[in-house]
Homo-oligomer: A and B are copies of this chain.
Amino acid sequence: MASAAPLHPVARQALLAALDEGWADPARLYREGRRARLLLDAARETAAAAVGCRPDELVFTPSGTRALHDGVAGAMAGRRRTGRHVVVSAVEHSAVLHAADAYEAVPVGVDRAGRVAPADVAAALRPDTALVCLQSANHEVGTVQPVAEVAELCRAAGVPLLVDAAQSLAWGAVEGGWSLLAGSAHKWGGPPGVGLLVVRKGTRFAPQHPADERESGRSPGFANLPAIVAAAASLRAVRSEADAEAARLSALVDRIRARVPELVPDVEVVGHGTLRLPHLVTFSCLYVDGEALLTALDRAGFSVSSGSSCTSSTLTPSHVLKAMGVLSEGNVRVSLPAGTAEADVERFLDVLPPLVAEVRSHLGSVPAPALDADLVVDSLGKLCPIPVIELAKVIGEVPPGGVVTVLSDDEAAGLDIPAWCSMRGHTYLGSAPAPQGTAYRVRRQA
């Protein structure tokens, strides 16, 4: 239940075979070089068939991240005479957002389910828009994006669309008339060290790294052939099982989506209920320290991720949850690897409620209210989820319609206090800079 998965058995076998057969330089003329070239060509054909492109449109890169970096840079340089404006969804992977940072990047917002509206993309296009970037599905909440519709409107506007397909390539080809596409083998059970970049014929593209004739001049460096062979074999293998496995895992995710809010109070399941990846589910728990819950789940044998600020090295909440405007505290991301058994999910549902209760108990309970006038809560210097817990403790102390002001210098409060209000039916009145930190004002429901 994690962002990477163990190697698919087919990938493992192919890797072992290719380590013996494919160690040579495919550019060389001697026997081992020719054999390596044959293996590389076959892997390219397999990957291209799975992506739905021509083999000569696809190159292998050292990672999905490098494919995205090189894809954005090459596409922008290919259209440098058009301009430097690039439209990205606000929930793209950081590899896309950081690559776009070198240009004039304008994010398009998403709804509370994390989905982009094609009309918003259309409205963001300008005469100097050189590129649009949209993921096939979100990496944190699993929401599937309307790629085909956006591709169609991009095509009509004459702007290329780059699709980050890392999350969905295991499940199927990306439909629609996109121009560029990137993927990452370790997301489909392949080994790390392999990404792919597809540039459709007719797409302007100017590689930005130093000249290197390998991989059509689009990916410098000695080809990681054993890993490429394993990646292609794995993609073919997971695709042959994809439909059945998607149906099975999707039912398990439905079960988690339905049961978690029944079993755990004050939980928000985030992402789209149906337009979603089959294997990914994310929820947030009020009054919970995300890192403490991760550690507790880890001890119970469940490896999950989190978009809570307390689990990030920068102490900021996930930009995806932020763009969706949903609660980020106590965030748990569950990714079901292929083959996950129903019994594993049932055990997860068994251990989760007591673990959440335990983590909550360490942070202090929310007390019964005692009516009082408007008041101010000073949470300066306290990190998520403390500001929201302190707000919840005192909201009952003001009369219905009364106002509580929370002072906080934790960036996550700007996301979690409004999200808490919408979950609890209170009115979020907005924020304003305070002498220290920010003042968040909340009106108790009448």
Among B69, B101, B297, B305, point to the contact of A220 (Cβ < 8 A).
B69
Could you tell me the distance between the alpha carbons of A23 and B192 in the complex, rounded to whole angstroms?
Answer: 8
Which residues of chain B have C-beta atoms less than 8 A from A191's C-beta? 19, 224, 226-227
Q: Is A295 an interface residue (CB 8 A)?
A: yes
A225 touches B (CB below 8 Å): yes
Residues 344-396 of A at the B interface (beta carbon under 8 Å):
none
A95 lies within 8 A of chain B by Cβ = yes
Tell whether, in the assembled complex, residue B29 and residue A295 are in contact, meaning their CB atoms are under 8 Å apart.
yes
Which of B4, B95, B291 is A29 in contact with, Cβ under 8 Å?
B291
Q: How far is the CA of A265 from the CA of B294 in the complex (A)?
A: 73
What chain B residues lie within 8 Å of A28 (beta carbons)? Answer: 2-3, 303, 305
Range of interface residues on A (Cβ < 8 Å): 35 or more
Interface centre among A16, A72, A184, A298, by most chain B C-beta atoms within 10 angstroms, is A298
Distance A83 CA – B175 CA, assembled complex (angstroms)? 48
Nearest CB of chain B from residue A24's CB, rounded to whole Å = 5
Smallest CB-CB separation from A189: which chain B residue? B23
Q: Which residues of B contact A12 (CB under 8 A)?
A: 19
Interface string of A93-114 (1 = CB under 8 A from B): 0110011011000000000000
Whether A19 touches B4, Cβ cut-off 8 Å, given contacts A192-B226, A221-B64, A222-B65, is no
Q: What is the 8 Å Cβ interface bit string for chain A, positions 209-222, against chain B (1 contact, 0 not)?
A: 11111000000111
For A186, what are the chain B residues with a Cβ–Cβ distance below 8 Å? 23, 222
Interface string of A15-37 (1 = CB under 8 A from B): 11001100111011111110000
User: Is A5 interfacial (CB-CB < 8 Å)?
Assistant: yes
Mark out the residues of chain A between 69 and 104 whose CB falls within 8 Å of any chain B CB in the assembled complex. 69, 72, 94-95, 98-99, 101-102
Instruction: Tell whether, in the assembled complex, residue A62 and residue B29 are in contact, meaning their CB atoms are under 8 Å apart.
Output: no
CA distance A111 to B32 in the complex (A): 33
A63 interface residue per 8 A CB criterion: yes
Question: A211 — which chain B residues lie within 8 A by C-beta?
Answer: 94, 98, 101
A223 sits at the interface (CB 8 A): yes
> How far is the CB of A342 from the nearest CB of chain B, in Å?
22
Task: Say yes or no: B225 contacts A30, CB within 8 Å.
Answer: no
A30-54 contacts to B, CB under 8 A, are 30-33
Given contacts A212-B95, A226-B191, contact A30 B2 (CB under 8 A): yes
Knowing A4-B24, A63-B62, A69-B209, the reply to whether A29 touches B224 (Cβ < 8 A) is no
The CA of A192 and the CA of B72, in the complex, are separated in Å by 25
Q: Per-position contact with B for A309-334: 1 when CB-CB < 8 Å, else 0? A: 00101000000000000000000000
- Chain B positions within 8 Å of A6 at CB level: 20, 23
A and B contact pairs by CB, cutoff 8 A, 18 listed = A2-B28, A3-B25, A4-B222, A12-B19, A28-B303, A30-B302, A30-B305, A31-B303, A32-B303, A62-B63, A63-B221, A65-B212, A65-B222, A186-B222, A191-B224, A192-B226, A195-B221, A227-B227
A binding-site residues for B, Cβ under 8 Å: 2-7, 12, 15-16, 19-20, 23-25, 27-33, 62-66, 69, 72, 94-95, 98-99, 101-102, 184, 186, 191-195, 209-213, 220-227, 291, 294-295, 297-298, 302-306, 311, 313
Known: A63-B222, A195-B221. 8 other contacts (CB 8 A): A4-B222, A23-B186, A30-B302, A62-B193, A63-B221, A66-B220, A66-B221, A191-B227
